[in-house]
Structure 1
Amino acid sequence: MVVEQVKGRLVRCCSGLLVGLAMSGAAAAAVEGNASLTSDYVWRGSSQSDGDPAAQAGVKLTSSRGWYASAWGSGVSFQPDNGARSEFDLVAGWSGAVANDWAVDVNLTRYLYPSANVDLDWTELNGTLTWQQRYWLQVGVSDNALAGGHGGTYAQLGARLPLGEAWRLEGAIGHYWLDSAQSDDYLHGQLSAVWRVHGPWELRLTAHDTDRAAQRLFPGNAGSRVEFALQTTF
């Protein structure tokens, strides 16, 4: 009930944000985009593209006061095949500094799979606390986690380490607490090496691993895997 109340308030607030941005014009907002081509779309330790490459792109509109709305899409493929070929994430929220070196991002994310022949759409309330833009703690809560009809809480602790101007390392470990009626909880980790090739263009190599609970939940799409991606912002 609490989650539903918070989601309702965020939806009303973000609806007002979008109207306000539209009325105030481009001078009060910034627009940025991103695009990537990855050898395997891996999300929270599990492949969302059945181990195949995926093209991805997104756009984000941010107001001068920190409110934002974004849309992001990727190709997907699941086993057993449920007809899903694309995923669209619609996000509305607020981000900004709350103290020296500390920043917060709170948002509502709606995951959509328009071509699926079963109902895979679901919503999650997310919050991320960042320190010095290098360390973060993310928590996501949903009463319909993974569109499974049960509650779930996800937490991720991560860090990035710059290695000069062109290189950096990024690592994270995440844990998904799922309702026992849906699945066992599972743990995953990832480690990335990122090379800024030229301007906004980057190459990312990421090693992923999960525990056995994830492999039981996502047979064939969890466990150890390597992802290679070319990414950019504009």
Structure 2
Amino acid sequence: MKAFTLFALGSLSLLPLSSQAIALNDDFSLLLDVTLASDYRTRGISQTQNDPAVQAGVTLAHSSGLYIGAWSSNVDFGGGLKTRQEVDYYAGWLWQASDDASLDLGYIRYAYPKESQFNQGEVYGILSLYGIKLGAYYSNDAPGIDSKQNSLYSYVGYEHELPFGVGLKLRYGEMDFKDPRLYSRSGTAEDSYHEWEVKLTHELAGVMLGLAYIDTDLSENQCASNWGFDDVCSATVVASVSKSF
């Protein structure tokens, strides 16, 4: 499968205890979110051939910190692959020690209708301390070229409120595969790559506007040899509009 020899990983922004969540009763709340983005990038890689994406999610949260939910987006991997949708199912527990400290633990199942060979699960943990985030996602059934393999995505991030209601989000991550899968022009293979994002947000008229710069350290040859295209891993600017209920 030359066009897509690694896999597509869904991105997910878990907001189980958002202040905008709908209170169902004293214990349960519901969060609905809808996003329109100029590109769907996850871990630096476009999931839509650099085209726009419409995304929606729903999360049911309990006062204990437990939550479950589902999230979906259109996708396009090219190369004759039939799937046009990603559906993620997740469950977890959020421990909120204070407004500035929390721990989020959970499991995500990624599903791709008509291309089930890309389906996989991940366990994750995200530690947040005074705006700094440390996260890790581990999978033991990540799709590879010819068999399942282990993968680990880890990142460090930072969030800060700037003047005039502008939010700043920074992230630097590493995607590490068990086996080398990233081939350079010389024929050598690497088992990991790095990606980063700088994002500004601002709430206007009840919607959240976002503008992000995203890039990876993958060469065009590494990108083309593993994803079938040389422009889905390169630097880009992604604009988004989202609404939470």
Q: TM-score range by the shorter chain?
A: 0.7 to 0.9
What's 1:138 paired with? 135
Report the TM-score, using the length of structure 2 for normalisation: 0.79
Contact 2:90 2:109 in 1 (8 A): yes
Q: Which residue identity is paired with 2:241?
A: L
The Cα of 1:85 is off from its aligned counterpart by: 0.3
What's 2:193 paired with? 186
The Cα of 1:120 is off from its aligned counterpart by: 1.2
Mark the runs of 5 or more structure 2 residues left unpaired by the alignment: 1-23, 183-190
Q: Which residue identity is paired with 1:121?
A: N
Mark the runs of 5 or more structure 1 residues left unpaired by the alignment: 1-24
Q: Distance in 2 between matches of 1:153 and 1:70?
A: 23
Question: Which structure 2 residues correspond to residues 18-57 of structure 1 after superposition, within 5 A?
Answer: 26-57=25-56
Aligned length: 206
Contact 1:71 1:89 in 2 (8 A): yes
What's 1:125 paired with? 123
The 1:110–1:33 alpha-carbon spacing in structure 2 relative to 1, beyond 3 Å, is: same
What's 1:217 paired with? 226
Q: Which residue identity is paired with 1:150?
A: Q
Instruction: Determine helix, strand or coil for the equivalent of 1:217.
Output: helix
What's 1:21 paired with? none
Contact 1:106 1:127 in 2 (8 A): yes
Find 2:212's aligned residue among 197, 206, 224: 206
Contact 1:150 1:181 in 2 (8 A): no
Matched, 1:111 2:126: no
Q: Distance in 2 between matches of 1:61 and 1:203?
A: 24
Instruction: Determine helix, strand or coil for the equivalent of 1:222.
Output: coil
Q: Distance in 2 between matches of 1:100 and 1:231?
A: 23
Contact 2:199 2:212 in 1 (8 A): yes
Q: CA RMSD in A?
A: 1.8
Q: Which residue identity is paired with 1:131?
A: L
Instruction: Write the deviation string for residues 55-102 of structure 1: whole angstroms up to 9, x where unpaired.
Output: 000000001100000100000000323111000110001002246832
Question: Which has the larger share of helix?
Answer: 1
Runs of 4+ in structure 1 displaced over 3 angstroms? 98-101, 216-219
Q: Distance in 2 between matches of 1:81 and 1:196?
A: 39
What's 1:163 paired with? 162
Contact 2:181 2:226 in 1 (8 A): no
Q: Distance in 2 between matches of 1:31 and 1:151?
A: 33
Instruction: Write the deviation string for residues 25-78 of structure 1: whole angstroms up to 9, x where unpaired.
Output: 854211011110001000000000111111000000001100000100000000
The Cα of 1:166 is off from its aligned counterpart by: 2.1
Contact 1:140 1:153 in 2 (8 A): yes
Instruction: Write the deviation string for residues 110-169 of structure 1: whole angstroms up to 9, x where unpaired.
Output: 0011132x511100000000012x210110111122x22110111011111211352111
Instruction: Write the deviation string for residues 184-217 of structure 1: whole angstroms up to 9, x where unpaired.
Output: 2010011111111123x11111111101266253
The 1:231–1:123 alpha-carbon spacing in structure 2 relative to 1, beyond 3 Å, is: same
Report the TM-score, using the length of structure 1 for normalisation: 0.82
Q: Distance in 1 between matches of 2:29 and 2:95?
A: 14
Contact 2:180 2:192 in 1 (8 A): no
Contact 1:69 1:91 in 2 (8 A): yes
Q: Which residue identity is paired with 1:144?
A: D
Q: Which residue identity is paired with 2:226?
A: L
